Amino acid sequence: MLRTLLGTNLWIEQNSRQAFNLDTILLANFATVPAKSKTVVDIGTGVGALMLYLSQKTKARIIGIEIQESRYEQAIKNITLNHLTSRLSCICQDIKDVDLKDVDYIVSNPPFFKVTEKANMNESEEEQIARHEIKLNLDDLAKHASRILKFGGRFSMIHRPDRFAEITKVFQDYQLEIKRVRFVHPYLFEKPNHVLIEAMKNGSPGMTVEPPLILYIDKHILTKEMIEIYGGIEHVT
């Protein structure tokens, strides 16, 4: 299926099992790539949607890391489709084996669920790997993000609020100091269902909790901020 990348003039091709979701859009909006960045890495890039979004925010070289060959191949097609091969590339490899260093900025929309959380397990192996910590758990993500980041480099990701305390502990174990946090709520008076986090390698203590991001005013009716994020679209189903 070929369609426009929501909120941009770019195109993306994917099948139903590879479709990116709201998480990607929220993370792309949250990410603040420093102006002087030379290299950005997207860990678990999937079909490349997050890389495409970031290509609109930075002139840095963007490298996607994807362990699943089918998604890697589709990411390459999407980079080519948008004539971005001069700045965007993708590696089909486990992040544990990737030989990069001194990266300025990392983004990741990682698997949210532990392997023990069977209630959220999808029947498709491809989706299981994307959603559950089968190939990449939180500890390994933080460890290898820290390994390839430069001193003072930043790492942004989206995850589940109920794992925030765990994330904080794991990040500290790998010298990743959380600097920015934003909780995402479906409605104004409902508890958050996502958390956006930016950490700095070897950063000094001090965290800013940004105002909450509210998705909907009412069913299918977006808030003003979400309309801006979606590029002017006022209703979604």
Q: Higher confidence at residue 86 or residue 129?
A: 86
Q: Residue 17 — pLDDT band, cuts 50, 70, 90?
A: low
What is the percentage of the chain residues whose pLDDT exceeds 90?
78
The model's pTM is 0.91
**CATH, domain 2-229, list 3.90.25.10, 3.10.20.600, 3.40.50.150, 3.40.50.10490:** 3.40.50.150
Question: pLDDT digits over 44-85, tens only?
Answer: 999 999 999 999 999 999 999 999 999 999 999 999 999 999
The DSSP line for the chain is: -EEE-TTSS-EEE--GGG---HHHHHHHHH----TT--EEEEET-TTSHHHHHHTTT--SEEEEEES-HHHHHHHHHHHHHTT-TTTEEEEES-GGG----SEEEEEE----B-TT-GGG--SSHHHHHHHBTTS--HHHHHHHHHHHEEEEEEEEEEE-GGGHHHHHHHHHHTTEEEEEEEEEESSTTS--SEEEEEEEETPPS--EEPPPEE-EEETTEE-HHHHHHTTS--B--
Give the pLDDT confidence score for residue 3 in this predicted structure. Answer: 87
For the chain, domain boundaries: 2-229
Q: Mean pLDDT for the chain?
A: 91
Q: What is the pLDDT of residues 115-162, one digit of tens each?
A: 776 655 556 777 777 776 678 899 999 999 999 999 999 999 999 999
